[in-house]
Amino acid sequence: MVNMTRHTWPIERRKDFIRIVAYITIATALIFVVDIYTPLGIMIWILYLIPLFLTVYLSWKYAPLVLTVVFILLMALSLFLSPRDILIEYALLNRVFFAFILVISSIFIEEYISNAEALALSEERYRFLIECSPDGIIVYQKGGIEYVNPVGMRFLGADRKENLIGRDIIDMIDPEQKVLVRQRLDQAALGARMIIDKVRLIGQDRNQMTVGMSLASMFWNKGTAVQIVMRDGRIDT
C-alpha cells in the first residue's frame, strides 16, 4: 500500500492532527464570540480565513469545504445575535459576499490538497519502481551521491546507503577513466544525454565491476542533478 502521508502532509502523527483540529476549533470559537459581541459594521468574520487556511495541514482533503459550510452557518447566526450599527440589508449583503469568498477559497484549497495528494502518490510509485529496478540508479549532484538504489549499492560494493551518500562516484572509477567520466557528467549536467560503455568500477569492497552508464540531467532538491543508470556489462545504444 502506498503511504502518501509522508510526502504530502507536514503533519504526520495523530497527536499533530488533533493539535491542528484544536487550533481550528479554538480559532473558530474565538472569532464567533468576538463577532457576536461586536457591531455588524465591524468585519470580524473576515478572520474565518485563518482557520480555513489551517485546513491545508489536515490530511482530509474535504475539510476546507466542510468548514466553509460551518463558517457560513456561524456568520448567519451571528447576523441575528450581534448588535447592529448598520442596516440589516447592508450587513446581509456583506456577509453574502464574504460567504462567496469563503467558497472560492475553499475550492482552491481543496484543489491544492488534491494535487499534492496526486503528486505524493506519483512520487511514491516512482520511488517503488526505482527501488525495484534491475538497474543501478544514482542521483549525482554537486560532486556527491545524493541517492542510490539497492542495485547501485551492490555495484559500488556497499552494504549501506549511508556509506555512499556524499561520496564522489569519480573516486570509485578506474583512474584511467576518471577524466572521461567527469567530462560526461559535466555535459549531462548541462542537459546532454550521455552513454559511457564499459566503465570500470572499484567498489568499497575493493571488488571491480564493469558497467555501462547512461547519464541524463534531472531536477533534485531544487537544483540540477545527473541521474546515472548503470547496467552490468554495457548499455546498448
The tens digit of pLDDT for each residue in 99-145 reads: 999 999 999 998 988 888 788 788 788 888 888 888 999 999 988 99
169 assigned to some structural domain: yes
227 assigned to some structural domain: yes
172 assigned to some structural domain: yes
Element (H, E) at 150: helix 150-155
Please give the single-letter amino acid code of residue 128: F
237 assigned to some structural domain: no
- Considering the domain architecture, whether residues 122 and 159 belong to the same structural domain is answered as no
Contacts of residue 133, Cβ cutoff 8 Å, sequence gap at least 6? 149, 151
Residue 7 scores a pLDDT above 80: no
221 assigned to some structural domain: yes
User: Which of these three, 112, 129, 146, is where a domain ends?
Assistant: 129
- Mean pLDDT of the region 151-173: 90
Domain with 201, as residue range(s), is 134-232
116 assigned to some structural domain: yes
**How much is the pLDDT for 236?**
42
- Considering the domain architecture, whether residues 51 and 36 belong to the same structural domain is answered as yes
User: Which of these three, 91, 109, 129, is where a domain ends?
Assistant: 129
Q: Are 36 and 81 in contact (CB under 8 A)?
A: yes
Number of structural domains in the chain: 2
The tens digit of pLDDT for each residue in 182-231 reads: 999 999 999 999 899 999 998 888 888 899 999 999 988 888 999 999 99
The CATH number of the domain where 182 resides is what?
3.30.450.20
37: pLDDT confidence band, cut at 50, 70 and 90? very high
218 assigned to some structural domain: yes
- Considering the domain architecture, whether residues 96 and 167 belong to the same structural domain is answered as no
- Considering the domain architecture, whether residues 147 and 49 belong to the same structural domain is answered as no
User: Which of these three, 129, 147, 171, is where a domain ends?
Assistant: 129
65 assigned to some structural domain: yes
Q: What is the 3-state secondary structure (H, E, C) of 96-128?
A: HHHHHHHHHHHHHHHHHHHHHHHHHHHHHHHHH
**How much is the pLDDT for 61?**
81
The tens digit of pLDDT for each residue in 54-71 reads: 998 887 888 999 999 999
14: pLDDT confidence band, cut at 50, 70 and 90? low
- What cell does 34 get? 468576538
- Considering the domain architecture, whether residues 78 and 151 belong to the same structural domain is answered as no
